[in-house]
Amino acid sequence: MFTANHTDPKTKSKIKLPFFIKWNGYDLFLSAALSLATVLMTRVHYGGSVSGTAQENYFTDFGVSAVLLFFFLLVVFYLAIPFLDSKLYGWIQKLSTPRESDGDTSLKFWGIVIAIAWLPYYLSYYPGGIYSDTFNSISYCLTGTLCNRHPLFYNFLIGLAIKCGNLFGQDLEWSMGLFFGAQMVLMAAELLFLLRWMNRHRIRRTVRAWVMAFMVFFPLIPIYASSVWKDTPFAMAFLLWFLFAVDLYLAIKKGQWNLKPFIGFLAGIFLVAFTRNNGIYVVAFVAVVFIPLTITCRIPLLKKLFTYGALLCSVLLIAFIQGPGYRKMGVIPTDVVEDIGMPIQQICSVVVHDGNITDAQKESINRFIPYDNIEEYFKPCVVDSIKWYAGMDWGYLELHKGEFWDLWKHLFMQNPGIYIEEYLLETLGFWNVDVSGPSGYAETEVWSNDYGLVQTDYFERIFGFSFQHFVNPRCYISCAWFFWFFFVCMVFVMKHYGFRNCFLFMPQMAVWLTLMVATPIAISLRYVAPLLFTLPFVALVPVLLEKEV
């Protein structure tokens, strides 16, 4: 059921017709996806800021030229992909070939390397880059407020650091420095676990070295280790979970069932679900996909039922804890706007672009948002302006959700084009590789606060020059690149090793899809940090599958 489909592309002319069609079907699918995305990218006018108005961030007209460009690109990609694919597949085959000289890479050596490479970050950014959301978590901890607007588990970790500071008679700055240091040490330990994982899978020494060099020296990784915000623990939990997900899937694929990866996978589900509020949707999506993709595996029926049952029960238990459990504890829930930012933007876009709206619908909109304020505060790429400054009546919205969704539905049927364009603009940075920016990119500073927290650059004090000058981001990588890397690799894997192996990319796709459904801002690298942390698997997954053949 999991037979690899990896015939050398150079011999396609000798392959029977059904397989020939299947191969070209994947090429055609990828060509169409890349062509459509490229055409959409050429029709975007982005003014350079997510806070730009509808006159600065918008789509230009689509016409015959867009259709012609799509088909031209379709042909170009369709001709180029098989050539590039054959080169890539040959490279994967080479990397997957074992060498007798490839012994285990030393964990001790890389532990020393990480300590030396990351110590300057700790000295330079002390007590860490602290985001505005983190100060909300600090406030919840100091006042004893149970709130899940930022994950309750993350608030607990912040509170634990503060209690440790109090225990030793230290101030808040010392506590945040402790949190920063602990986070960096745990991430270093996780990278060593990744190295041990690669050793166990007999990944070639050269590949291990490149992966570790990327994870240790690529500045964004240690900068995220230095960023005291909820996104770093989430990305760390995701990486750990993904390692066990790969182990579990590969074992089941071979008709085996091992307790250790299964326990690790279940534990990872809880870590991912409780370190960020969209985590529950990520793990639920992966759980739903996992079952049909492994249903035909040859493991004992009782073990299969136990696996699926434990998986579904874990997701249901998390949903119960975060739903009725939190309500019973008196936990303040996430703001409703976090779930409906996209619909709000689409409704406002119809108003700003003079769409088809009845008088009754205008009155309904006015009950949620002062109608006359929308033109002034609407920004196509971020909902915050409408959310905080346009005078939204959150109390009315909370009590009249049915009216809101009925309004959204009917305006969609009357203005589908405006809805689609606004959707693409609100998610712009997650599919358009030409759009990037500093918003939510990395946190290297301490935000303005009332707690007296300031950043102290001990590295500059000791050595007389700024380490931050060399590592602070200057050019911003588009979030979309990370998605396209995984998407292209997923299609490559399905083409060469079978459709079911797409599971090995479902965790990353789930993170991306949750953003495409409910992102509040068009550009924010921190939202796709798990894709950054697992980027080496774009190469590792095909290598592992080739080794299994």
Each residue's pLDDT tens digit, 118-159: 999 999 999 999 999 999 999 999 999 999 999 999 999 999
Q: Which amino acid is at 335?
A: D
What pLDDT score does 16 carry? 44
Give the start-to-end residue ranges of the domains of the chain.
9-96, 107-334+440-548, 337-426
Q: What pTM was computed for the model?
A: 0.93
Q: Answer positive or negative: Cα dihedral of 286, 292, 296, 298.
A: positive
Percent of the chain surpassing pLDDT 90? 87
Percent of the chain surpassing pLDDT 70? 95
The two three-digit tokens of residue 352, written as one number: 């700003």
Q: Could you report the per-residue pLDDT of 494-541, keeping only the tens digit for each?
A: 999 999 999 999 999 999 999 999 899 999 999 999 999 999 999 999
What pLDDT score does 490 carry? 97
Range 196-224 burial, b when 16+ CB lie within 10 A, else e: ebbbeebbbbebbeebbeebbeeebbbbb
What pLDDT score does 23 carry? 54
What residues contact residue 288 under an 8 Å CB cut-off, 6+ apart? none
What pLDDT score does 97 carry? 83
DSSP class of residue 321? I
The DSSP code sequence of 14-64 is GS-HHHHHHHHHHHHHHHHHHHHHHHHHHTEE--S-TT--TTTSEEPPP-H
What pLDDT score does 394 carry? 86
Write down the mean pLDDT value for the chain: 93
Q: Is the pLDDT of residue 85 over 70?
A: yes
What pLDDT score does 333 carry? 87
> How many other CB atoms sit within 10 Å of the CB of residue 339?
12
Q: Is the pLDDT of residue 374 over 60?
A: yes
- Report, as an integer, the average pLDDT of 286-307: 93
Alpha carbon distances (Å) from 234 to 137, 228, 427, 488, 518: 15, 12, 21, 24, 18
Q: Is the pLDDT of residue 9 over 80?
A: no
Alpha carbon distances (Å) from 486 to 287, 384, 493: 19, 29, 10
Q: Is the pLDDT of residue 383 over 90?
A: yes
What residues contact residue 204 under an 8 Å CB cut-off, 6+ apart? 95, 96, 97, 98, 99, 102, 543
- Report, as an integer, the average pLDDT of 37-63: 95
Relative to beta strand 44-45, strand 58-59 is antiparallel
The two three-digit tokens of residue 482, written as one number: 């990370």
What pLDDT score does 15 carry? 37
Q: Could you report the per-residue pLDDT of 412-430, keeping only the tens digit for each?
A: 999 999 999 999 999 999 9
Q: Could you report the per-residue pLDDT of 282-293, keeping only the tens digit for each?
A: 999 999 999 999
Relative to beta strand 227-228, strand 129-130 is parallel
Alpha carbon distances (Å) from 224 to 12, 234, 444, 475: 45, 11, 9, 16
